[in-house]
A and B are shown apart, each in its own frame.
Chain A
Amino acid sequence: MSGPARIGGNGGASLRFTFDGVEYRARPGDTLAAALLANGIGRVARSFKYHRPRGIMAAGVEEPNALVTVGTGGRTEPNTRATDVFVYDGLIAHSQNRWPSLAFDVGAINGLLAPFLAAGFYYKTFFGPPKRWMFYEKFIRKAAGLGPAPTAADPDHYEHRSAFCDLLIVGAGPTGIAAALAAAQSGERIILVEQDRVVGGSALADGASSPDDAEELRKAGVRLLTRTTASGLWDDGFVTLAERLTEPGQSPPPGHPAQRLWHVRAERILLATGAFERPLTFAGNDRPGVMLSQAVRTYIHRFGVLPGSCVVIATNNDDAYATADAIAEAGGKVAAILDERAELSAIARAAKARFQIHTNALPLSTKGDAHHLKSIEADIWTERITFDADLLVVSGGFTPAVHLHSQAGGALDWRADLQAFVPGASHQAVTSIGSAAGEIEPIAPPLTGPLAHPKSSFIDFQNDVTAADIDLAWREGYRSVEHVKRYTTLGMATDQGKTSNMAALARLAGAAGVDIPQVGLTRFRAPFTPLTLAAMAGPDAGGHVAPSRRLALHDRHMKLDPLWLPLGYWHRPRAYPLAGENLVQAARREAHAVRTAAGIVDVSTLAKFIVAGPDAAAFLELVCATGIAKLAVGRGRYTIMLREDGMVMDDGTVWRLAETRYLVTSSTGGADGMEAHLSYARHVLAPTLHVSIIPQQEQLAGIALAGPFATEILAELIGAAPPAHMGLINATLASVPVLILAASYSGERSFEVYAPGFEAGPVWDALEAAVRARGGYAYGLEALDSLRIEKGHVVIGAEADGRTTADDFGMGRMQRKAGGFIGAQALLRPALSAPGRMQLVGVEAAEPIPEGAMLIARDGAPVEGHVTSATARVLGDGSVALALLVNGRERIGETILASSPTRGRQVRVTITDPVFYDPDGARYRD
């Protein structure tokens, strides 16, 4: 192309847009690609690997070359196909993968380095000295790439919407429209989706579509969604549709979403997705000015743009002759038609009067400068002839768009007459129609002879994969198409090889000396075209990313202005700093108060279940590894639950509230899993037991009161004697009925006070006032953690990491010898009692111990364990930590290195018993 290309001038171009900072004008209805061509801009991009100048090859979503960045700030959308953006007033587009400018690109030197960037280059750099990859990595990362992702937050909102229909039709071309109108008479719920802004599909290329079609469809009762892409076809007729309500980079009207992702469940699906035209393989087939035949016709008829004035057409089919006529009608000169076929068809013979037609003619190579195509060298019979031209139209036949059919698990059948795969059997109610089903012009097998310049003959334009790369992969022993794909990155670009697939298979089949179906085909995956992350996230962004669970006592905590800690969906106070305190200081003060006076902590998030019924004890003995049956009414006990593989799943306490009624507590983080686990045990493993399980996590708020003054505080507030250790009573506190469990997690005398969530406020107030009156404080999770580490209590997720048994914790004897609980059989596995297991120990040092540090004898020695939780001592100096260490219990008294390379710290620690504080429990026992 050599100048503005709008047929009859650029009249009516009322929309302003900029490309690389230069302002141009577009007509309403123009795609960015049409507007760029109309303004005489043929080169719009640099290629992925070699930075070769690239132009516009297609007119639809299959465009491999013309990727641009559209929009600014948070509305920046990189890697957008210029053929898939409709120009709006004020659109800002930039070319990509070039520095400092599209015209002068330093990276184009990669083109000279092409021999080093062939297939498998990255892979090969991984072998040999590691420095080799380190050297190339910087260079490759800078050179190979697409547009950078935006860093600013997206200001727009996105919607998800569900719909149901009897019939979903994908593609509003002539076939899809006819099918929709025919089906509409039945009165069924029909959704017709079209990724373009207007209906018409392939008819738009021939100027044959009617603007009334959309109106007719709507009148017939069809729900027509334009600018909507059927992105994924999943199981049981579930389809995701991506609807663009605004163009990339465009601000939506106030209150409107930018995009809408539809979740559609369709009883039946018709795929009228059409076919993609194939390019031809020759040297320099990627140059700006080489375009697909139907695309050229589309630019002429739909957009009034003639992308070249002196044209050569290379084809293997009749369809390109319609393009020749369109070019001639639009005032262009068709210098020659190079027809690959030896014998002309009737249509081609009829065209002989109008055009210079060569049979047995193949394009060999192109010449041009960075902007323009200049000439084409062709192989005609035995001659080489050069034609001057500024546009080379290519048509290698058509490939049915079978992507959605394949996504849905449908088989693909080879049709030798079409040299294409067509949809085969599908186990879903999915049917392809029209050209998607193979109603396309037959072509002869492509010639797979030697190419003049395979290293500049591109197969996959977007990922810069050449014919030479595929040949190389074959020579290096890659036989499966799946392996060739990964080795060469063929078809792995954002276009998923829409234009390159068949050429690649043909090349591979040629190298292997087999037919294309023997080479095979990779499965197509969603999304059909790139989908923005924002559309997928929909409304689940910002504060809506996850649900937020608030404690019943949330407002009481707010008054104390705590530091919050998100734990799962819960938000819990981490510490309550006084003026001027940081987290560490606040937690230290709070923990100190618990050891010396009193403190209260919100433990409402613990999982709680009422287990009731005549078989309640039998059920609990199924899920708990510890003895339950002998527990007396009014007493409680620590317990552990195992997974079926014998590892510790969770721990907690069991309380016998009445003869056949128990309360079970377990960890916060495992609460949902425990609910499912108990239901599984109840309904699947023990269906005959008479027992009910009632989850109480959110019904009961819990406050733990701990410290030397806990007993007298509680006695004063309930007007009665508090229960003995591991006992329970019902009482009234601040006029609220409460359940009091005497259990100690902190290592001090402690009571858990449970009240209905909506009545817990006054209980907290009364406890807090009493605690403060004795010099104590409310304490948060940070202090709680310090207290329990000192006491040697394990935590699910830290010490119980899914690989540890009760015996590893020194709690093996708590498990019932007779078995009969979940996980009991697995404990018999020899490896679980073999020497060399990691066991729970304590480690101590004068200086802070890094959490997560590995335990090693010396630098470079094998890792023997790791620190699971660490804290400074609450009373006194120094640090203590819990750790898992190989044969740990035999090694008490030894020293070992706790090494954390990520923090650059190494501490020599002494191995101890895991209970650092009050090992006999004298502080809480009666």
Chain B
Amino acid sequence: MMRIDCPHCGQRAQAEFTYERTLDSVVTVEMVADEAMRRLYERANPRGLDDELWRHSFGCRQWLVLRRHRTTHAIEAVVSFDPTVHV
């Protein structure tokens, strides 16, 4: 079980968090259909670092962005989700 350093609550066990999706698969209603479908069905899934959207569901309930390594699970950074930066 990973340990996630919530910017609001400090280090907590992964069990308190819920994975949502990678940032590159967020689909807004403004996107044209092609772009929306590409984001849903053609994800990069890199063997390396990726930005993921998580929620501290059983803690502060805030939305977070984890920069996490896909193979080692090493978490490089955890920040609050910021719509001006992340979408």
Instruction: Judge if A829 is at the interface, Cβ distance under 8 Å.
Output: yes
Q: List A contacts of B36 (CB < 8 A).
A: 644, 825-826
Which residues of B7-38 are within 8 A (CB) of A? 13-14, 18, 20, 26-29, 31-33, 36-37
Question: What string of 1s and 0s marks CB contacts (under 8 Å) between A815-832 and chain B?
Answer: 000011110111011000
- Contact A821:B72 (CB < 8 A) given known A235-B1, A688-B83: no
- Contact A684:B3 (CB < 8 A) given known A644-B27, A645-B40, A819-B29: no
Q: List B contacts of A829 (CB < 8 A).
A: 33, 37
Chain B's closest residue to A162 (CB) is: B13
Q: List A contacts of B32 (CB < 8 A).
A: 825
Are A822 and B26 touching (Cβ within 8 A)? no
Q: How large is the interface on B (under 10, 10 to 19, 20 to 34, 35 or more residues)?
A: 20 to 34
B14 to chain A, nearest CB (A): 8
Are A622 and B29 touching (Cβ within 8 A)? yes
Q: List A contacts of B74 (CB < 8 A).
A: 427
Instruction: Judge if A442 is at the interface, Cβ distance under 8 Å.
Output: no
Are B61 and A679 touching (Cβ within 8 A)? yes
A525 to chain B, nearest CB (A): 16
- A interface residues, how many (CB within 8 angstroms): 29
Q: List B contacts of A234 (CB < 8 A).
A: 1
Q: List A contacts of B40 (CB < 8 A).
A: 644-645, 826
Question: What string of 1s and 0s marks CB contacts (under 8 Å) between A219-260 and chain B?
Answer: 000000000000000111110000000000000000000000
Chain B's closest residue to A622 (CB) is: B29
A427 to chain B, nearest CB (A): 5
Number of A-B residue pairs having CB atoms within 8 Å of each other in the complex: 71
Instruction: Judge if A683 is at the interface, Cβ distance under 8 Å.
Output: yes
Which residues of A637-655 are within 8 A (CB) of B? 644-645
Question: What string of 1s and 0s marks CB contacts (under 8 Å) between B47-81 and chain A?
Answer: 00000010101000101000000011110000001
Instruction: Judge if A409 is at the interface, Cβ distance under 8 Å.
Output: yes
Are A238 and B3 touching (Cβ within 8 A)? yes
B11 to chain A, nearest CB (A): 9
Question: What string of 1s and 0s marks CB contacts (under 8 Å) between A698-736 and chain B?
Answer: 000000000000000000000000000000000000000
A618 to chain B, nearest CB (A): 11
Instruction: Judge if B2 is at the interface, Cβ distance under 8 Å.
Output: yes
Instruction: Judge if A94 is at the interface, Cβ distance under 8 Å.
Output: no
Chain A's closest residue to B35 (CB) is: A825
Q: Which of A237, A409, A679, A819 contacts B55 (CB 8 A)?
A: A679
B71 to chain A, nearest CB (A): 8
B29 to chain A, nearest CB (A): 5
B54 to chain A, nearest CB (A): 11
Q: List B contacts of A680 (CB < 8 A).
A: 20, 55, 63
Are B72 and A409 touching (Cβ within 8 A)? yes
Are B18 and A235 touching (Cβ within 8 A)? no
Are A825 and B18 touching (Cβ within 8 A)? no
Task: Identify 18 residue pairs between A and B in the complex whose beta-carbon atoms are under 8 Å apart, listed by A's number.
Answer: A235-B1, A237-B3, A263-B1, A265-B13, A409-B72, A644-B27, A676-B55, A679-B55, A684-B20, A684-B87, A685-B28, A687-B83, A688-B83, A820-B29, A825-B37, A826-B33, A826-B37, A829-B37
B interface residue numbers (CB < 8 A to A): 1-3, 13-14, 18, 20, 26-29, 31-33, 36-37, 40, 53, 55, 57, 61, 63, 71-74, 81, 83, 87
A interface residue numbers (CB < 8 A to B): 234-238, 263, 265, 409, 427, 622, 644-645, 676, 679-680, 683-685, 687-688, 819-822, 824-826, 828-829
Top 9 A-B residue pairs of the complex, sorted by shortest distance between their CB atoms: A687-B83, A825-B36, A236-B3, A825-B33, A235-B2, A427-B72, A238-B1, A828-B33, A235-B73
